[in-house]
């Protein structure tokens, strides 16, 4: 299971929201590039970046910061937030992004996902409260379930589903194991779990899950790292040790 350390951008700074609430923000770093490089130095093989301003408004406020992260990073960068047109996706790829995450637009314009995925690396972002997907920076309900929407992209050529349980995001109380496992069982698309990881035990739990012969492709971790619950190096070591134990 691959680790994706998270860098959430708002106003050019690294922040974390609590349960997706833009009014409950904590600023963790003023230099996102330095933060990204610290993750790379610790051994991560991917970075996960979210433009929270663009997710809310659609405006690419943090694109210069994203470009700077990509220019400095020797590892691939996955970026989501405000990718609502093909032009927006292409602008991120031109900035050096390796994979874009399309969330709101995946629901409003599913064909966009197929168009971009035909030529580029795409993940579909499914952010949900209690299994109901929310859009526009987690502010609008859709009445659609994660499972139903995932099935719509089964043949779209996407590389992954990035699935976040909003009610757990930023809480450190543990991921939505039941919901994530149900989705993993029902879809053939690789699943990246997000939201709620607060301990190394949570990582080991996700890494141990196997259903229908499949495991989670990756896990996104943010607040636990920033709050020093564990380091990127410790997380990577725990995942390597788990994998070694599972294959021995």
- Identify the band that residue 142 occupies on the pLDDT scale cut at 50, 70 and 90: low
Instruction: Say yes or no to pLDDT of 125 above 90.
Output: yes
pLDDT for the residue numbered 33: 96
Active site residue 127: yes
- 159 flagged as catalytic: no
Bridge partners (DSSP) of residue 162 are: 125, 192
Specify the range with the lowest mean pLDDT, choosing from 7-16, 89-98, 139-148: 139-148
**Where do the domains of the chain lie?**
2-247
Most confidently modeled of 17-21, 168-172, 202-206? 202-206
Residue 101 CA to residue 220 CA, distance in Å, equals: 13
Percent of the chain whose predicted confidence (pLDDT) is above 70: 94
- Indicate the average pLDDT of the chain: 91
- Exactly one of 51, 53, 127, 176 is catalytic; name it: 127
Catalytic residue among 8, 51, 53, 176: 8
CATH number, domain 2-247: 3.20.20.70
Is the pTM higher than 0.75? The answer reads: yes
pLDDT at 232: 98
Q: What is the pLDDT of residues 157-180, one digit of tens each?
A: 999 999 988 888 888 999 999 999
SS3 label, residue 16: strand
CA dihedral 93, 67, 126, 137 (to 10 degrees): -130
Extended beta strands in the chain, E state: 2-10, 13-18, 21-29, 47-51, 77-80, 99-102, 122-129, 132-135, 140-145, 160-165, 191-194, 218-221
Which of the two residues, 245 and 239, has the higher pLDDT score?
239
Distance, in Å, from the CA atom of 46 to the CA atom of 137, rounded to the nearest integer, reads: 23
């Amino acid at each position: 299971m691959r680790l994706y350390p998270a860098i959430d951008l708002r106003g050019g700074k690294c922040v974390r929201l609590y349960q997706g609430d833009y009014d409950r923000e904590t600023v963790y770093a003023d230099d996102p590039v330095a933060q990204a490089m610290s993750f790379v130095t610790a051994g991560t093989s991917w970075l996960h970046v979210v433009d929270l301003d663009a997710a809310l408004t659609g405006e690419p406020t943090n694109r210069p910061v994203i470009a700077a992260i990509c220019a400095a990073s020797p590892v691939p960068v996955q970026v989501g937030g405000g990718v609502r047109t093909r032009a927006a996706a292409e602008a991120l790829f031109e900035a050096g992004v390796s994979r874009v995450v399309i969330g709101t637009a995946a629901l409003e314009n599913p064909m966009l996902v197929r168009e971009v995925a035909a030529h580029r690396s795409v993940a579909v972002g499914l952010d949900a409260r209690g299994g109901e997907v929310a859009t526009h920076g987690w502010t609008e309900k859709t009445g659609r379930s994660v499972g139903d929407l995932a099935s719509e992209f089964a043949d779209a050529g996407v590389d992954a589903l990035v699935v976040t349980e909003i009610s757990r995001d930023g809480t450190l109380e543990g991921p939505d194991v039941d919901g994530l496992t149900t989705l993993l069982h029902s879809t053939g698309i690789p699943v990246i779990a997000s939201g709620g990881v607060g301990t190394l035990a949570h990582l080991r739990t996700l890494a141990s899950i196997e259903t229908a012969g499949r495991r989670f492709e990756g896990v996104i971790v943010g607040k636990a790292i920033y709050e020093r619950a564990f380091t990127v190096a410790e997380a990577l070591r725990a995942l390597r040790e788990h994998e070694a134990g599972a294959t021995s």
